[in-house]
Amino acid sequence: MRTLKKWENNKVDSINRMEARADYKSYVGRSEYETKTKTGRYYENLNGEWDFLFLDAPEYSPGDFYKTACDVSQWDKIQVPGNWQRQGYGEMHYSDLWYNFPIIPPYVPTENPTGIYRKTFELHSIQAEQQYILRFQGVDSAFEVYLNDQSIGYSKGARIQSEFDLTDYLIEGVNTLTVRVFQWSDGTYLEDQDMWWLSGIFRDVDITTRPKEGLYDFAIRTYFDQNFESATLTVNPTFTQQSNQTITYELMDCDGNRLFKEAEKGEKSFIKTVEEPQKWSAEHPYLYELLMTVEKDGQVIEVVNQKVGFRQIEVQGNCFLVNGVAIKLKGMNRHDYSPTEGRVTSKESIENDIVLMKQHNINAIRTAHYPNSPYFYDLCDTYGMYVIDETDLECHGFELTEDYKWISDNPEWEEAHVNRIKRTIQRDKNHPCIIMWSLGNESAFGHNFRKMAEYAKETDPTRLVHYEGDFEAEVSDVYTTMYTWLERTDDKLTMDKVITNTKKPHILCEYAHAMGNGPGNLKEYQDIFYKYDHIQGGFIWEWFDHGIETVTEDGETYYKYGGDFGDDPNNGNFCIDGMLMPDRTPSTSLIEYKKVIEPIETKSIDKAAGLYKLTNRLDFNSLADYQLIIRFYEDDQLIEERQADIPETPARGTAMIRINYPAIDFKAGAMYTVHFVYQLNDEKMWAQQGFEVTRSVFTWRKENRQPAVTDNQASKLTIDEDTAFVTIVGEQFSVRFDKIKGKLLQAYYHNEEVIEKGPEMNFWRAPIDNDMYILEDYRKKYFMHLPHESIRKVECEVNDEAFEMRVNSFYGTTNSAWYYELDYKYVVNKFGKISYCINGIASGRKKLAPPMLPRLGVSLRLSKDFDAVSWRGLGPLENYSDSRQAAYPGVFTSTVDELFVNYVKPQENGNHMDCDWVGFSNNDKTLLVKTDEEFDYSVSRYESEDLEKAKHTIDLKERDYLVLNIDACQNGLGSNSCGQDQLDKYRCKFEDFSLQFSILLEETKGKNISELARKK
């Protein structure tokens, strides 16, 4: 029979670990509680510097490693909390689903990196009536604890609290604590989450005390009557020593007013009716404070406080309700992450996350895929976040064994599974923010999940059980799916099937994979959530890009991902999939999501009459927290600003608002927009008064351009022509063409080269992460990156007023029988204006064409000095056909560098849609590109191939010119790195197209570019 090492024994979840219990503070008395400065009890924070010995395997440990006499003078120093891979030990490794060793559960490799931690602390006196508790909030993956030469215990479950009783092992004076941590254990088979493999003591470590005759644990629950008017508060206390204690319960509101004060025997549950309490929700996170004063024989043993939120969760029909309402989850999956520290997060960083989420209208968090530090839940209670609290459990690598449920359906692993949900529930049970217990993630389904659900429902029937791997929702109270498509051509699951067939509430626990430039289609999902009561929202994957901050010798910062540390196998940049960049910069997608889940939706009903409809998208609150500022613009000039009353609008209600437009003289060529800007009336915990929660912008009038006033005295054109080239020379400008290739080569104004390469047809864009599954076809089947043009005819005409060149050609790719027949025309007039138009007819064997093209348009090269950019169209941020809700029409100014979106892995970025002009300025001159129609544009210092070849931002080298793309169409973004590809309506297809624009260099010193652009 094979011998199991301790860290390979799946039947041993712990040794001498204390029973899981709620996380709370115990104070000596009322005065200590009221000052909140100290509990009045012994407390030792063990965070900081520890002695550290790193070994290739546990068996290499010195024989006396746990003894006080062990010589640690040659050991290193390490910071706790910390992951040892981020402090120079072991290897960094990222993978999505692979285990880093053979799958032979419960065995792990002999080479098992091991860290031995040691720290001393001093105890001046030991109080006999106190229990001394050593508490670890997170240790990856299994660990042993020793104190003063004695074995204290052992624990697994990397991301949940472990407590040990030190009482009988402490000495007065200096105590020596030793912790031996194993990177791999049988627990690793349950911890195969999509993230960096990181090890060590990565969360807080401390020693605290509790009175032996005090509370060991307690469970708080609230229940409403059927009208949600009065509520019943229950408290179930637990003592380890019953000795006729009494508990005095006091409930205070947030202003310190006492609602009741009543005593009850310690062995009894406390039950109290509270009339019309304020209800807790993410929109109104009202918290009461419950004080529990434990006494014996008239003497106070301790005072314990706990925040209480009155709320009730239940299922009715095919909806789940919070306080009687089928809420909508506007959620986010969140990992613990730091670009420098790995999985080490502070309370401050977590609070920053929650504040930023609130500022972006997010109301829910799934703790993907493990419980968080205790203060995370305190913050969610306080700020108002619905939480799906997920068990530290994922067995994703078994999917590749053809037996996904290998251990999930094996009763030998039952205890290992059930203990994880047990410890999660027992620690976190008193937090109103938690609405569901999640059994884990991507681990198939079977016996052990049934047992986990059974435990959860018996232990806490006041919350729902969630597990996406339960595909038939056998035990899950909600039918949950991930990355369910909106449309597809095969028979796999789509949202319309979910809508029709599900008998339980539905949520998307993951959707809209936010990898690189994307995701698209957010609005389409949200429209479904709003339309159907039982489709109750979802959670974006995910919050952070998990890049590892790295600084070059030149001081340039970039972010590493899978494979950059020699890790093999790896999933590359699949960890760069968040709406927040590693440096905490919100990506375009986060701004887009904020708009899509806005609390107030505004639609025009009769724009000419100034009639608009407001929809309150909140579940509980009216719009009383907001003020409406209406601004009127003429292009980029503010005409008028006024504050308007928001009609009284209850939750989920609608109201009409009518506005009067300013009485002004309209100017030819100008665009007039009205901005509905919704701001906070008052300061909130998460934002200042006046913070903008959403904005809706409408074009209420657009005037035709006025004819340009020209100087008819301009010199006549002169022509310099040979068999291959022709140069058109006018007053202070010249334009050169290649007649063989039918191309504009250069354009000079005032002897300065402004256009370094004229417009050329272009299919290609630098691939985005969401193109990953079509990229091979693009390159190896359709050869989209290898275009060829066959010129069939070039005709030139010239007179004193203008030069005209007409070109007919075929344009296709290597070995492709589908192609465009192109007709394009250049006109250069005597004032130096270059007009260009191109018409493409989809030709050849069309059925062989790809289902979508990256783009349809032209590319030009401009002088790099013209890097100040103005445009009229959608802005201010980048926008695409399926990601444009946060963009709005107007006139915007920026620079080429500011327009570049610095994705961790370079890719297509910076597009702007619906433009009718764009200007590129260099001090007092502007190259103005105008159209009578609309186009997309983007401008960059890099060619598409530069972005495509670059693995990181530091690989990019600026060109000595600007690359301007003007497109009739660009493909949408989709979310196909994991999920829905581009919807049919957002695809750039192989179809006929046309594109036209003009280019003219204007003297703009002291002039308004918008006014110049209004002329034809």
Q: Contact 1002/926 with Cβ under 8 angstroms? A: yes
- 140 in a structural domain: yes
Give the pLDDT confidence score for residue 709 in this predicted structure.
Answer: 65
Residue 163's pLDDT band (cuts 50, 70, 90): very high
- 567 in a structural domain: no
Q: What is the pLDDT of residues 223-249, one digit of tens each?
A: 999 999 999 999 999 999 999 999 999
Query: Residue 130, by phi and psi: left (phi above 0), alpha (psi -120 to 50) or beta?
Result: beta
Q: What is the pLDDT of residues 771-803, one digit of tens each?
A: 999 999 999 999 999 999 999 999 999 987 899
> Once rounded to an integer, what is the mean pLDDT over residues 315-330?
98
Could you list the beta-strand ranges (E) of 496-564: 506-511, 535-540, 548-551, 557-560
Same domain for 903 and 944, yes or no, is: yes
Could you list the beta-strand ranges (E) of 184-333: 195-196, 200-201, 205-211, 215-224, 230-239, 246-252, 258-265, 270-275, 288-296, 299-308, 313-316, 319-322, 329-333
Give the pLDDT confidence score for residue 39 in this predicted structure.
Answer: 67
Predicted confidence (pLDDT) at residue 332 exceeds the cutoff of 80:
yes
Give me the amino acid identity at 487.
Answer: E
Supply the range of the domain harboring residue 486: 347-548+577-594
> What is the per-residue burial (b if ≥16 Cβ within 10 Å, else e) of 426-439?
bbbbbbbbbbbbbb
Predicted confidence (pLDDT) at residue 712 exceeds the cutoff of 70:
no
Predicted confidence (pLDDT) at residue 941 exceeds the cutoff of 80:
yes
Single residue among 157, 185, 210 that ends a domain in this structure: 210
Q: Is the dihedral of CA 757, 758, 759, 760 positive or negative?
A: negative
- 331 in a structural domain: no
> Once rounded to an integer, what is the mean pLDDT over residues 945-971?
98
In angstroms, rounded to a whole number, what is the distance separating the alpha carbons of residues 285 and 374? 18
Same domain for 686 and 729, yes or no, is: no
Predicted confidence (pLDDT) at residue 711 exceeds the cutoff of 70:
no
Same domain for 590 and 614, yes or no, is: no
Give me the amino acid identity at 412.
Answer: E
Residue 448's pLDDT band (cuts 50, 70, 90): very high
- Residue 849, CA distances (Å) to 488, 562, 575, 815, 971 in order: 19, 34, 33, 12, 15
Same domain for 859 and 949, yes or no, is: yes
Q: Helix or strand or coil: residue 183? A: coil
Tokens of 291: 């004080």
- 502 in a structural domain: yes
Single residue among 177, 210, 243 that ends a domain in this structure: 210
Predicted confidence (pLDDT) at residue 651 exceeds the cutoff of 80:
yes
Same domain for 790 and 876, yes or no, is: yes
User: Which residues, 6+ apart, have CB-to-CB distance to 222 below 8 Å?
Assistant: 231, 232, 233, 234, 308, 309, 310, 311, 312, 432, 462
Burial-class residue 991 by CB neighbours within 10 Å (0-12, 13-18, 19+): middle
- 558 in a structural domain: no
Same domain for 456 and 537, yes or no, is: yes
Q: What angle do CA 896, 898, 902 make, to 5 degrees?
A: 105
Looking at the 3D structure of the chain, how many domains does it have?
5
> Once rounded to an integer, what is the mean pLDDT over residues 314-320?
97
Residue 100's pLDDT band (cuts 50, 70, 90): very high
Predicted confidence (pLDDT) at residue 1005 exceeds the cutoff of 90:
no
Tokens of 244: 């006729």
- 889 in a structural domain: yes
In angstroms, rounded to a whole number, what is the distance separating the alpha carbons of residues 164 and 149? 16
Same domain for 620 and 539, yes or no, is: no
Single residue among 210, 232, 254 that ends a domain in this structure: 210
Task: Give percent of the chain with pLDDT exceeding 90.
Answer: 96
> Once rounded to an integer, what is the mean pLDDT over residues 402-417?
98
Predicted confidence (pLDDT) at residue 6 exceeds the cutoff of 70:
yes
Give the pLDDT confidence score for residue 1 in this predicted structure.
Answer: 57
In angstroms, rounded to a whole number, what is the distance separating the alpha carbons of residues 145 and 863? 66
Indicate the average pLDDT of the chain.
Answer: 96
Using DSSP bridges, classify how beta strands 912-922 and 925-940 pair: parallel, antiparallel or unpaired: antiparallel
Give me the amino acid identity at 297.
Answer: D
- 244 in a structural domain: yes
Predicted confidence (pLDDT) at residue 35 exceeds the cutoff of 60:
yes
Give the pLDDT confidence score for residue 800 in this predicted structure.
Answer: 79
Record the pTM.
0.97
Just list the catalytic residues: 442, 510
Task: Give percent of the chain with pLDDT exceeding 70.
Answer: 99
> Once rounded to an integer, what is the mean pLDDT over residues 309-322?
98
CA 215 to chain centroid, in Å, comes to: 40
Give the pLDDT confidence score for residue 368 in this predicted structure.
Answer: 97
Q: Contact 264/246 with Cβ under 8 angstroms? A: yes
In angstroms, rounded to a whole number, what is the distance separating the alpha carbons of residues 121 and 35? 26
Give me the amino acid identity at 882.
Answer: D
Same domain for 741 and 695, yes or no, is: no
Same domain for 302 and 374, yes or no, is: no
Predicted confidence (pLDDT) at residue 713 exceeds the cutoff of 90:
no
Q: Is the dihedral of CA 493, 495, 501, 503 positive or negative?
A: positive
What CATH number does residue 300 fall under?
A: 2.60.40.10
Give the pLDDT confidence score for residue 173 in this predicted structure.
Answer: 97
Same domain for 116 and 68, yes or no, is: yes
Give the pLDDT confidence score for residue 706 in this predicted structure.
Answer: 84
Q: What is the pLDDT of residues 731-772, one digit of tens each?
A: 999 999 999 999 999 999 988 999 999 999 999 999 999 999
Q: What is the pLDDT of residues 334-380, one digit of tens each?
A: 999 999 999 999 999 999 999 999 999 999 999 999 999 999 999 99
In angstroms, rounded to a whole number, what is the distance separating the alpha carbons of residues 544 and 582? 6
Predicted confidence (pLDDT) at residue 918 exceeds the cutoff of 70:
yes
What CATH number does residue 351 fall under?
A: 3.20.20.80
Predicted confidence (pLDDT) at residue 840 exceeds the cutoff of 70:
yes
Predicted confidence (pLDDT) at residue 1016 exceeds the cutoff of 90:
no
Q: By mean pLDDT, which of 23-32, 38-47, 254-263, 567-576 is the weakest?
A: 38-47
CA 192 to chain centroid, in Å, comes to: 21
> Once rounded to an integer, what is the mean pLDDT over residues 183-190?
98
- 556 in a structural domain: no
Same domain for 633 and 781, yes or no, is: no
What CATH number does residue 43 fall under?
A: 2.60.120.260
Same domain for 225 and 138, yes or no, is: no
Give me the amino acid identity at 75.
Answer: W
